[in-house]
Structure 1
């Protein structure tokens, strides 16, 4: 005779199979205006799907999404065919049925939360089942040990399944840490500016904020960093929300070939024969660089995470990520009730978590308020960061850009940019002076102006 507890554990596992199908259907109805894949990926974790076929279809959709390809039905069919999994998931008929029962865009997060929630319920059911089995086999003098074992597993579930690597005694890993010190730690990313790299050691998991008033050269600096980092063989990802594909290409080509940016913007007869020769010389190298571009105007921390994971799988190492710029990003919640302060604070904190969990270095451009313009010398301070003090708290380093010639064209320091290191967890606070050639869209070391 079974007890009520045993009868409960014999019930079918908790699941929402219809909800799973409706999410996948919505993902196969994605449009450029709305991307349900990113919303679902933010909530649903590996192993959350109840049906193996749904897990396989989700894997195909994620692969397409990671390559910035459409996730419509024909593309998913082709991807599953290439994977050799189409028939195992029920063929085109099963996929078409998922599309038929697709939920609306507004319901994706709701159903994704249900799928994730039911996965946790199944994990709890399995844990309780194991506990019951252990209780049956426990000797009278070992009850305490069994209770502790069951309690440890339940505590793990209650904490959301966070791995125990985040918790332990200080001394447990000191020997391993000492052994790691025998090898020189390589910076995870480089800027290409010698003095700046000397001061600013960018390690895995760091978030670096590059801030300044409009026109100071934030985009020129960060695009230059992206190309320099990729030229060193390190993968690089650029999220450009402020500039489109054409403008970014023009800036990179101008900076690399020393052709006037203004001529490239005009195009046609404005580009001289010598310019074409210079451009042609550098295009082959640029085409082979490990740089990925995302020009979407709707970027959230979960989208950044997904792009980082895709590049990491492809290259074997996390990329340097450029976000241009922070205040243009969206939160994953997309709540209209959030104030700008709350929105930027959430984005800043989530980007820090993405960097720490993926091992990527993230460089964010950020706007400053007008505080410096009413100050003698007009030099910016960290307190001038716009919208949120959370940015200062989360950043590993903060670089403030200042150009005297932006305020006085006849300044004796015309052509110079001060990179004011206002925060630096990995080094000292100082000012690194470099040169700007904004007519080429680039910032260079003083000693490298002719190259």
Structure 2
């Protein structure tokens, strides 16, 4: 090493930061001395992230050249890597052919490559952890007292993401046959859906499984909140841990809707309060109070909800109950991103939120059900029926969702329609089953949707 070494500063600070340059050299050396009999590149690549795991910049450059050759099924020995670096103009920057030979001379054995790669990755995670803590301290010094909660939530989201360590997906990359018998054994048992809607025909078609994101969309006053709140109550009533993020309605409004739904008390009377609530109403509410108090139903009325906050709430409930929750988000276009970028367009913001929610669902095993608004496209269409392309602000929602339910009511446009009191649930996308249209009854005075058969039954 000399004063002209491009990484002299990195080497001098090696002792001050978490790194093992010896492990990095050992892994790269193994790749530079690979033989057809054993491929250490694949073993190392299964552990190391695509970029950023290397402490020394010239090690990162060499690794990218190795990956480029390996991806083309070419040898990764010193001559080939030297030629690749010369082609990209990076050879002199990494120290020339002499440096490559020095690294090759310090190679670990081929069977040790993965172990040393894990050490390199572990140190990289430790550095990211240190950097996250430093950013947290900087944010703490600069945060306004009124924004402390937002700052903590953003920092917590960053740490949660770091803890997930998405670069190592052990168990997700395997030979097809390795898990085949286990899957065949699982087919002998009926798999219960991870979440239900409480509507018989919709549950038959829409099988919501862990990791699914389902979008419930419609124009204003179509019953999105009534439907998703009904889904929350159906799941909580069945014993499933359920979480509702209400971004549009406050505690009082949501509580009145729950009481109207479960106690069958007119919502308008509850909203008015006082003498409008009759003795009969109070009797019905009193009968339902024990059940409502015992429901595994959690409400979050936080006005500024980000994917990071959703992840935090899910993990907290999972630890508390031992069960990944069913999550209701009302509604997705009101959510913020964790980055809080002021110049983000609505399209970019909703797209980022959608991608993050999909990742969160897959990470945690939760089922996430999002309300979403539609644009005015359906109102200029004959029949007024909505389509998936009407989703407002982002096509990413359509891509990420496992299922999309579009709500439509004829009587919203034609008060004298013979289908007054009916709602169409258009299952426009369904990865786990068929697409179809299901008719239910809306009872908005009770803030709920009901199966057509059940809506005609006498309820006491």
TM-score (norm 2): 0.69
- CA separation of 1:30/1:191 partners in 2, compared to 1, >3 Å: closer, same or farther? farther
In structure 2, the residue matched to 1:340 is 346
Equivalences for residues 37-436 of structure 1 within 5 A: 37-45=152-160, 161-436=167-442
1:356-408 residue CA offsets vs partner (Å, 9 max, x unmatched): 11000000000001111111110111111111111111000000000011111
SS of the equivalent of 2:192 reads coil
SS of the equivalent of 1:197 reads helix
1:126-176 residue CA offsets vs partner (Å, 9 max, x unmatched): xxxxxxxxxxxxxxxxxxxxxxxxxxxxxxxxx964233232222221122
Task: Please point out which of 9, 12, 15 is paired with 1:11.
Answer: 15
- Alignment partners' CA distance in 1, 2:288 and 2:282: 10
- Alignment partners' CA distance in 2, 1:269 and 1:347: 44
Per-residue deviation at 1:252?
0.6
- Alignment partners' CA distance in 1, 2:357 and 2:191: 23
In structure 1, the residue matched to 2:106 is none
- Alignment partners' CA distance in 2, 1:20 and 1:189: 38
Q: CA RMSD in A?
A: 2.7
- Conserved in 2, the CA contact under 8 Å of 1:234 and 1:290? yes
- Alignment partners' CA distance in 1, 2:346 and 2:136: 36
- Alignment partners' CA distance in 2, 1:221 and 1:160: 34
- Alignment partners' CA distance in 2, 1:234 and 1:305: 18
1:16-54 residue CA offsets vs partner (Å, 9 max, x unmatched): 598388379679997577422221122225998xxxxxx
- Conserved in 2, the CA contact under 8 Å of 1:210 and 1:398? yes
Per-residue deviation at 1:313?
0.6
- Conserved in 1, the CA contact under 8 Å of 2:247 and 2:301? yes
Per-residue deviation at 1:13?
4.6
- Conserved in 2, the CA contact under 8 Å of 1:251 and 1:261? yes
Give the structure with higher Rg (CA): 2
What stretches of structure 2 of length at least 5 have no aligned partner?
1-7, 19-126
- Alignment partners' CA distance in 1, 2:204 and 2:350: 30
What stretches of structure 1 of length at least 5 have no aligned partner?
49-115, 117-158
| Alignment coverage as a number of residue pairs | 338
- CA separation of 1:281/1:431 partners in 2, compared to 1, >3 Å: closer, same or farther? same
In structure 1, the residue matched to 2:449 is 443
- Conserved in 2, the CA contact under 8 Å of 1:415 and 1:435? yes
- Alignment partners' CA distance in 2, 1:233 and 1:32: 36
- Alignment partners' CA distance in 1, 2:162 and 2:431: 37
TM-score (norm 1): 0.70
Per-residue deviation at 1:203?
0.4
- Conserved in 2, the CA contact under 8 Å of 1:239 and 1:321? yes
- Conserved in 2, the CA contact under 8 Å of 1:210 and 1:401? yes
SS of the equivalent of 1:439 reads helix
